[in-house]
Amino acid sequence: MPIPENAPAIDRRLLRDDVYGRLRDAIVDGSLAPGEQLRDAELAAGLGVSRTPVREALLRLAEAGLVVARPGRSTAVSSLDLRAVRDARDVVAAMHGVAVREAVGSLTEDDLEAMREANRQFRTAIDKGDVDAAMRADDALHGVPVAVATNRALVSVLDQFTPVLRRAERLRFSSLDGRASFARHDELIRLCAAGDADRAAAVAFDTWHTLPTDEE
């Protein structure tokens, strides 16, 4: 099974999150294909870690719906479940709406500028057709109100359900709709700067809730 080559050494202090992130990204970008068997010993050897953080990562991936675990039998990358994608989209959209509503009154000018800079990087990435860079910039932009809201329950829900949407995000950012996302971001930032929490939250919700699925 393919493991990204030339990956940087894992920071032992963040071993669990690093292993989870690498496996999650390999599933999202297709390096680990739907239906592929995931054997913890092979993964551990490929990543240069023990089997314990790999097993913990596989449990988290199962909770996120990215792998199917059959105790005592096998673990495999899940196929794309359209119902799961739509369900996750509803939850993630709602959580980002809540984050923005809670954060608007506390956003500083530095926070707003960080969002503007992320959106500039997003537009550059979309113009270049760099989907990975667009996703990183998108995460940075939406991450500002999430961080400012300081709602740990909200962060926990996003950590669980956002990975399910990554394939839908890649679809959006590789299409013309990626340019529309820049305009949505710009409107979100404008409303946040104006202190309009309700309308900003509605834009945040719509931005995530309009993510495509294969049936739409």
Distance CA 66, CA 171 (A): 17
Checking DSSP bridges between strand 74-77 and strand 67-70, what pairing results, if any?
antiparallel
Give the DSSP per-residue string, the chain: ----TTPPPP-GGGHHHHHHHHHHHHHHTTSS-TT-B--HHHHHHHHTS-HHHHHHHHHHHHHTTSEEEETTTEEEEPPP-HHHHHHHHHHHHHHHHHHHHHHGGG--HHHHHHHHHHHHHHHHHHHHT-HHHHHHHHHHHHHHHHHHHT-HHHHHHHHHHGGGGHHHHHHHHTSTHHHHHHHHHHHHHHHHHHT-HHHHHHHHHHHHHT---TT-
The pLDDT of residue 9 is above 90? no
The pLDDT of residue 1 is above 60? no
Query: What tens digit of pLDDT does each residue of 156-192 get?
Result: 999 888 988 887 787 778 776 778 899 999 999 999 9
Q: Can you give the pLDDT at residue 176?
A: 65
The pLDDT of residue 60 is above 80? yes
Q: Can you give the pLDDT at residue 115?
A: 98
Domains identified in the chain and CATH numbers:
12-77 (1.10.10.10), 82-209 (1.20.120.530)
Query: What tens digit of pLDDT does each residue of 96-121 get?
Result: 999 999 999 999 999 999 999 999 99
Higher pLDDT, 215 or 20: 20
Query: What tens digit of pLDDT does each residue of 133-164 get?
Result: 999 999 999 999 999 999 999 999 998 889 88
Q: Can you give the pLDDT at residue 216?
A: 44
Q: Can you give the pLDDT at residue 2?
A: 56
Instruction: State the average pLDDT for the chain.
Output: 87
Q: Can you give the pLDDT at residue 74?
A: 78
Query: What tens digit of pLDDT does each residue of 15-32 get?
Result: 888 898 899 888 887 788
Higher pLDDT, 104 or 11: 104
Least confident of 52-56, 61-65, 114-118, 184-188: 61-65
